[in-house]
Structures are given as C-alpha cells and as structure tokens.
Structure 1
Amino acid sequence: MGEEESAAGPHSADREAIERLVRDNRRGLMQAGLVPPGGGATRLPEAHDDPDRAAATADSPLPGTRSVLQALDIPAVLLRPIPADGGEIEDFEIIAVNRAAVLYSREPDPGFTGRLVGDLIRLRADYPGMDADGFFKEIAEVHRTGVPLRRRGVEWLMPRPSGWIERRSDLVSVSPCGSALLMTWERFGRAGMVAEAQRIADVGWLEWDLATGRAEYSSQMRTVLGPPGGPVGGRPGGALGKRHTGSRAIVDGHLGDGHLGDGHPADGQPVDGQPVDGPARWIDLVEPESLPAYRTFAEHLLRDTRPASAQITVRLRGRVRVLRVVAEPVTAFRGGPVWAVRAVVRDVTDILDSRIREEEAALEAHRQRRRAEAEAAVSEKLRAAIVPDLVSLAEAGLDLSLAYRPAGGRAGVGGDWVNNRVLPDGRALLALGDARGHGLDAAALMSKLGNALNGLAFTGAPVENLTTWLNSLACDDGWESTATAIIARYHPEMRTLRWTCAGHPPPILVRGGHAALLEAKVGPPLGVLPDFQYLATETALAPGDLVLLCTDGLVERRGTDFDDSLRALVESALRHADLPLRECVDAVLAEMTADLDVPPDDATVVALRALPFKP
C-alpha cells in the first residue's frame, strides 16, 4: 500500500466506490429530467408572512388565512400572543378555529366556534393542564424563536357534558404564522402507535434523497443513534457525532438541524457542489472489520437496486455499537436510477451482548458438567480401587455390613471411606472416615489415608499410635487435607474392641434391648494438630452385641441440633437391631435420610455384630 493510500485511511476505497454509485444514480436522474443540473430542488414560492392578508397575482389569487384554516382536514386554531407587563407572554388567545377542531370536541353545535372566538378563550387560563408538563412554555418558545414545535405528544383532559372527564392523547404541532401561531393536532392513532412501537423496539427509520442530499427521519433515530453533544438515547456514556476534519459530524449533517419528530428534513452538506449522500458519509462511522459488509450492503442498494440488510459495527463517540440496518431503494421508474434510500435502523448491541453472555454461560455450564462427569468417573474408579468390597471378618468373630448413600445422588465422589481386613495375627482392622470435601481431592486424601493405614496396621502397633501417625501424614499434606475417622482393632481372644475417635460421631452399642452412645476419648480431626497424641477406648463385646458406626452425613442437618440427630440415630438403631445385619443398615440409612430429597453430604452406616464363641 502506498503512502498516499495509507494516509487516506481504511475507508477511502470503500467511500470512493459508494460515492461513485451515488454519482451514477444522480446522473441517471438528471438524464431522465427528474432532477435539474446541480442536484438542487425546484424552489417553491414562499407564503405571505401576514396571516390576515391574502397575497395574490393576477393569474393566481390566494385565499385568506381563515379560508386556508377551514380547508385543513385536521383540527387547527390560530393563537394570538397576549404579552404581560414585563414583555413575557402571559397567555395565548384563540382567534380562529376550523371545523375539524369543532368536530374533534364532539360538540358539533354552531355556537362552539363563536364561543371559542367571541369569549376570548385563552390557553393557560381555560386549559390549566397545559402548564403541567411545560407545554405552554414550549408554545411561548415557538413564538420567541420562530422554530416550529413538531408532533409533540400531549395529554388532554376534556370535560364532557355528562360531567365525567375524558383523557385524550394527541400529537400537537405549533408553527409561526406571521404574528400569530398555528396550532394543529391529530389523534395519537396509528401515527402515535407507530412511534410508540419504534420506541419500545428501539427502532428508527430514515429516508435519504440522493438528488438533494436531504434526509427525513423519525424521532426515534435520535434515541437509536444519539444526538450530537448528548447521550446515546437512554444509555450511559458518549453520544453519536464523530467529528471529521473538513466536514460536520455525520449526524450533524443528517440529523443535526435541531428538529425532532417524525418526517423532519435535515440538509446534507455539499461536497464539490453536490449534496453528500447518507450511505457515503456513514462509512466514516463503520469499524474496519465491518467495511466489506457495509460496502456490499451499499452496492446491493445503489448498483443492484434491490433491498439489502446488514449488521455493522460502528463507533459512536468512542463507544462501539452494533446496528442492524434493513433498507430498500426507491427508483424513479422501473429499471431506473435510485432516487432515494429508505432504511430501518436498530441498535442490537445490548441484544448481542446478552446473547453472548448467555452462550458463554451455557458453554461454561457445559464445561462444568463435563468436568464434573469426568471427575465423578475418575473418583468412582479411584474409590473402587481404595475402598473395595467389604472383607468378611467372620474369621475374627465379627459379622459386618455397610450401607451408603452419596451426596446429591452422585456415585463415588464423596469423602466417606471404609477400610477393613483380618490382620496376620487374627485380629480385625476396621476404619470408617470422612475426608474433607468431595471429588478428586477427597478421593486422593482417602487413598493416602487408606494405603497408609493398611501398611501401618501390619506393624502391630496400638490403634492410638496408628491414629497419631495418620494425623502426622495428613498435617504434612497441607491444611486442606483433613478428615474425621474411627480407627478400631478387634481382639477376638479378649472379645474387646479398642478404638480411637478423631473428631468423628461416636459409635452406638445395642445390647439386650438397650442402645446408647459409647463414651469416646475424642481427639481433633486428622490433619489439624500435628503433634496431638490420640487415646484409645476399650469396649468389651458379648455375642449378639451390635456396634453401629456412621459418618456425619447421617446426622448433620441444617437447622437441626446435632445431639437431637444423634438421639434419633440411637432410637433407629434400637428399632432395627433384630433384623439381619444387611437389612438393619439399610433400614437405618433409609429412616435417617427419609426427609432429604437431595442429601447435602455422603451418608455411610457400618454395623458389626459379635458372633457366638466357636467351640
């Protein structure tokens, strides 16, 4: 790319292509005799300034103001200003009214017009509601500045002969008419509904005349694009109106003449004696990534003379917005050049942002779900590897059974773990624990503690030493590696269960129709205090005695006292103690979790029963 082309910027080639299409269409209009050379519009004769005089020529007499007023098919009145002593406008007097205004009032009696004029009806005095929302001040401003007020929404309160008040919504316009003001209005009706529909949908329309460079636009375009120097509609931040060297702002040229309301013209700025066309000027707002789409859009309209739509990214006073534009060309005749372009514009930035956020949220949810599924699968396999099926302890004089319910219906992702085996010396090892958390972290901690316990148990050391060593291992692994546990060894030769409690719910003993919590020498959870020395409790077992152990997921409930839950567990154990051991643990688990549709934590029940003496 040469230095000259680079200096022209990324828009130059596209702008030249679009301007060439505009010139070609304008040349076609001139050749067809539809537009005078130079592209200007035919000048119409100006109306006479004095409303009470009728200017006329010999060949074409003009009617008087009141005759013109009566010819209007919409309600209209002439207003004469009444100045106050200080020079300000005190009120406006109605000096003429047309028949459409009489009919509008739904009082079609001949005296209405006479009463309206003859009795000096005044706006502020006789219609005080006009002051409520500043409408009267706007009328006075039209008289002061000469700038018309166009299609201003007004709510009227009309007293009816029956005594009730009727509310009407109208679009009112006020224009200078010599020394008086002409006020016309029309029912809100279809025009109002269209304007409201544009406001609700945040849509604006506009039409560019290629011959004159003028544009007509709806008032909602100001909200969609933002007026120069003001905020972009109701959105925070900057406004539309990007300034360029040697020309006015894009919107200044087409929407910046100070007139609001549907169908108000704005002059395009001439370039080299020709009025600038909207599509060519708007290219300066388009972001580089949207230039190809915008150029194609303009070519469809101006070269192919067919409707087109585009979604383009623009920069409006430093803010990037996305506009959806749907447009159609207006040709002078079938197959002829393009005379005008009509477009509907909508700011879809917020819609796209919302859609992107929804898609990102859905994608993140999908990732989380896949991650959870993968973690559950790995945890399941890891749990199966470190918590195999229960080993029979009958050789050591114990019957053993287990029931388990995962948190939230998840299989194998919790921190509950069980370890049992018959040691070489004929004694039985039994451990029930609950590692902190869920998922792979909990499964990894279960693996460390379970494997460590298996190795340490073969040393023959007392259970209090085993528990102390496991605590040191957990402390060395980090502050998150914590777990509660019951570590027990059963001595069949003495019918004694020696056990330690590391922050875990105590066991329950059921004997002879009675059930109670065993007194425990409770120590802190594993991984909390590095140098803590755990102590063991000894419990003698008789044939038929039942010992029930559980994890805290069976007894901890939000809003429920922990001791109350333990008492409920003791009562449940007693109720089901006479059942076969497998049925017993299933019944206790089902009863204690019956009120939980989705358990917040894993729940495990382990039961062991002392078998009769072998002969």
Structure 2
Amino acid sequence: MSGAHEGAAHEPPDATARALADTVRRLQRAAAQQHAEARTRAVVDLATGILAERLGLLPAEAAARLARLAREAGVPVAALAADIAGQSAAPPPVPGAPPDAAQEPAPAVTQDVTPAVTPALAAVEDLQHAVDTVFDQAGPAHGAHAVAVWQRLPGGALALAAHIGLSAAEAAAWSRVPPGVATPAQRAVEDGTDLWPGDPRTVGPSVGTGSARAVLPLLGDGRCRGALEILWPAPGPDLGGPERRRLGAVADLCATLLADSHPHGQASTPPPASADEAAALVDALLTPALLLEPVLREGRVADFTLLRVNARFRDPRGRPREALEGASLLETYPVACATGLLDRLLRVHTTGIPLVGEHVRLVFKDGEFAGPDTVLLAVAPLGGRLLVSWQPESLMARGDEQSTLLRQAQRLARVAGFEEQLADGRIRWSEGLHELYGLAPDAAPVPLDRLARHTHPDDEPAIRRLLDTVRHRHRTASAVFRLARPDGTHRYTRVIAEPVLDTHGRLIAVRGAYHDVSAQHWTEVALGATRERLADSEQETAESERLALRLQQAILPTAPPPLGATGLHAAARYRPAAKRDRVGGDWYDVLLLPDKRVLLAVGDVAGHGVGAATGMVALRHALRGLAVTGAGPGRLLEWANTVALREPGQVTATAVCVLLDPAGGALRWARAGHLPPIRLAAGSAEVLPMPHGVLLGALEDARYEEHTAHLAPGDVLLLYTDGLVERRDRPVEDSVDQLIRAAGAPGPDLEDYLDRLLELSPADTEDDTCLIAVQVD
C-alpha cells in the first residue's frame, strides 16, 4: 500500500496538471529527437568533409561516395560516418530530459541514399523530402521555380514520383505519361544523356510550359530508372561545370531512392525471377532464345554473359549450347555487336522499353570470313536480365521467301543435310533425303550405324573409314559410295560429315550433308571416253609447241653482231615463257647497215605457238630486208604493217624501230603500239617520248610518226618487250620506274646489267621477254 501511496503522491492532483505534465514530456522527447538528428547530420557532414578533402571531391560528390560505401557495406550511413570521423554514433543524454527520452535510439537513417546538393542529404530517407530539400537549397541560388522527378514504369510509361513548385492541377494532369509521348524526360530516358537549357531536345510537351529546363536521366546499376527535371524561367541559366556536377549529384540521389521504391501508385512488386526460374522460362519457349546477364564495370553495363541458350537456338558458327553458356557476348559475337546488336541490347536494358520484332542486319564472323545475315530480333527486360529472341531469316517459317529460295537451291543442287544426336539418338533430316534413299516421307531416318546396309557391298570399307574418322578421330571426313535404293537402283552419293564437340572435347553429335553426284559420275564416265579421243590431239598440240620453240630459237641470234668498229657495243637477252605452251612471238634484231648506221628493233607478235612464231619470222626478216633501202624508221614500219596485213591469219604485233648513227650519236625512232625506248645517262634515266603509231596489222594505210634524240658518249639505249615489266595489278609505267630505280646505273658491263634487269623484273604474266642495250663508247 505504501508503494501505491508513493506513486499517487507524484501524480498531479487534477486533469489539467496531468495534461501539462504530458505536454512537458512530449516536448522533451521531441527535443531529444531533434538533438539526435542534428548530431547525426553533424557526424555525416564531418565524414563527408573528410572524404572530400582526402579524395579531392566536391561536397555533393563526397556525400554520394559516403552513401554508396554505406550501401555496399550494409551499414547505416550514420554508423559509417561515425567510423570515418572517429566518433560514437549514439547520441548523449539530453540534460533535463526524462530517462526514457534520453535512452531512445536515434531515428533510423536510410542507408542506401545518394547525396544531392549538401552532405547532410546522405541521411534523407524520403524522395519527396529530398526534392523539397534540394529545392529549398538550390532553387533560390539558381532561380529554379520547380523540380519534378519522373519514374520509369514497366512498359515505358513515366510517372510523376515527386515534385515541388507545380500546382496540384498540373501535377494531377501529368501524373502519368504514356509511352510514345515525346516529352523531354522520355528523350532523356531513351537516350541516357543529359539535356541542358538551350538544347532543342528540351522542347516538347511537359510540365511548366514555356520554362527552360534541364533533364537528367536517373541511372543506377546500368539501368535508367527515370529522369530529374529542373525548371527555370526562360531563357534559363548558363550552367557551368560545377553547377552541372552538383545537379548530377541530385540525380544520383533520386536514382538511389527510386532503386528501392516500387512503381509509383502501385503495390510493392514481387521479387524478380531467380536465375533458375528465368532459365526454365527460356527453355520452355518455342522460339530460339537467349538469356543475357549484364556485366557491370564502374557502374555501367560493359558486356553481357550468355546465361542460358535454349535448344532451338542455332549458333551461326554451329557451336553447341555448352560452348555458348557462360561466355561473353562481346567475345562470342564481336562483329555482330559492332554492327548494331550491342547498341540495341544496351538501349533495352537502360530504358526498359522492349524491342519487338525488328529485322536487323548483323555480320557474323566464322574464322577468317565474315558474312551478313538478317535476323528477327526481339529483346525484353526480365528481372534485371535480358530475354532475347534471335531468329535468322534463313531459319524462319517455311513460307518465308529466304527459306523457299534455300530449299530450291538445295533441290537443284541435290543436296540434303542431317544431324544425329549421340545422347538420345535423335536424327533430323532435311527435305530431299527421304527421296534420295527412296523411302516414304514418313519413314524413320536411317542412323549412321546402319548406313553400310544401304550401300553397295564394295563401298562398305569407305563408310567404315568415314565413321571412324568422325567419331574417333574427331575430324571432318567425306566419302563417295553407291547408295542402294529399295527399287534395286543405285545413286552415286557423296557424304561429308563433321563432329560436334562440347567444351570438354567430347563428341555429342554428328552432322553433315548428302550430295547426289550421280549425274556428275555419268558425266565423268563420258569424259573418260572423250579423253582417249583427245589424247592424239594433245600430242599434236605438244609437238606444235615444241616446233614453235625450236623455230624461235633458230631465228633469234644468240648474241648481237659485233659493233666495235662503229664505236658502239651492244648486248641482248631473250627469256622464254615460263610455260612451254606459252611460246610467244617476242623478237629482237641488231643490224649494221651499209651506210654505217645501226638498225635496232624489238617486237611482240600477239598470240602463242606456231602462229606467233611464224608471224615473228615474217616481220623480222621484212624489216631486215627493207632497212638496206635507207628508209627511215616510220617508213619501215609502214611496210611492216603491209606485210602483217598480208600474212595468213592477219598477224598483229607491236614493234619499235630505231636507226642510230654512231658517228654523231643521233637516233631516229618510230613505234607501232610498243613501249618507248629508255635513255640511260650518267645518274639519270629518261623514257623517250611516244610517237603516234598503231599496232602492225591493225589498219590499212597506217602512218607512223618519227622522233629524234641524241646519245652522248657513255649513254645507254634500252629497248624491251612488255614481258619485262607487265603486271596485272599496276600500270606498266609504274613497273618501269620501279625496275630502273632498282637496277641502278648500267655500268661498263652491259651483259651484267641486262642480267640484273631480268632478275629484278616485277612482271607476273609469265610471258617471254626480249631486251637490247646499246652503249656509245
């Protein structure tokens, strides 16, 4: 009883007194809570300052780093801040407060919030509260009159998650923006880029009509969760680098808050499907599908991992599922990623807006070869991962035009494919294989183990070698055999098969193709009979080529005649064609004339064999005989043209004709479609001008222009045919320049110089070659 009396003695005597006592205790508790909050903010500010000083960050960036560290460590921001500052996180008792108020814990601090403008925002726990604080602190400084935070909803819509400075009617009208409305916030979400005042992309339907605005995407864990929109009276401020960084910190705060909130106006959503559940979903799909896991580096998606590949997916390079699962997307399909695949995947992952059935032309690389392929691509977000349906046009519906074309090509080429799984014995045949075997369309496919039963007995060893190479040596092999059909006929068939190995090198399947080569076989039989009849003709041709070679060797001199008495000395080379069947009509001539002048001539008759050799003989002897008349080189070529026109078969040829006077070094020359001479002086080389003149044997009454030049003592004149310099990949002039520079100065030994020219010749036509070099002593 005494205890009861003592308790009653402390109670106020009436209701008014009790109410006053309750009010005092409530105010004491509120004061204690405010003191705890102030001390928490002070500790957070102190830790933020420490991080800013040591890491060289802005205060807002240091606060963001503090909140991120607390989130990764799984501790409250206040506790981590106390550890960094070296202080206790628990508040001391408040003087005058009742014991229960002094011992009440400090208010819980949200641990996964990113700071905005001031460091104390690391402890803000409510999105609307954060927006109010930002507006109170940053709005007056920059003149902003409104702030809106947009949250991206599943399907691509935007919800107005928090705002300040907007009227209730305007906020209600813009509470939800359907997908497809080109608002500035939607543009920022889709592009993932910051929009600043003055950017044309900030113009569009949105809150605050007529205002200047900045719109920043809210990015977290590689995904865009919404957008932050700040409004100013037009035309808006000119924001420098520090202001933009501070607004970026505001966006970081909002992104962190949105990451832990459920969609605006909806109940809390169930947790995303686990990896096993998502993999089961991919396996159950009736279309080719992939499950991709994003790979984050420095907070951004840098790659994707192929988490799951279903059985209907066909790798363009034919790799099995086991070789794809767990691999990097960039390493597995590098060229496809570079040609548009990765950009589309990143856009879907960032914006959350699915990609529905887009025809995309991608490039896939197989070894050293890369080829384009059009795929029907669909991508959808799935619990932080991406579900990708990827179907090449070549494997789409049977009615697809591309597939129809492929089947027609296989039918015309009489080719059919097969694949046999070793684990379950499942066999797939393409169209045409039942018909090749002579089986009914609904008959069971023939396994490779029974292939020998369907072949001619003499061909069974070839089948055994084929299967042994593929199954045991794990190498691609082929065989040609006679396929026995139920009606007693045989089809000559070529089979090529390759092993399919898993990541451990174990054989899991065999696939390949059948090729009906019956028509080719009977053609080869007919060709065999024809070859016997052609043998005599081939022998005759070989004898004709040998005759042409002997004729050419007999006509062309082994060396030019001695010219020592004239003050000249000459050297000549003839290199026959690399192949005997290409004996050509190249020729040269050096002739001392009665008037002491010297005739120099080089020519090339079109064609090969006896015809070219006989044409060469006719032209060479015609020039030799006509040169004693004293006519100039132009007139000599006109007569040679007449000879070419009168020859059987109408010979055509190129030629260059030079008359050199040893006494004074004067020379005259003309050309008929031939390469011009080259004059080699001390330390220099000059290709002489090309006078006009068409091929010999091309036109009646052709006229040939003459040019003159002079050779000084020590100069060398070089004449040659195109077999010395002709290449298929460059102009002749470039080859001439390269050869002359590589060979260097002629020197006193012309024989050695011509050998050097032949050795350094860049020609790749395997044609015969003639060269003449004359030097003035």
When normalised by structure 2's length, the TM-score is 0.35
Name the structure where helix makes up a greater proportion of residues.
2
Q: Which of the pair has the greater relative contact order for Cα pairs under 8 Å at 6+ separation?
A: 1
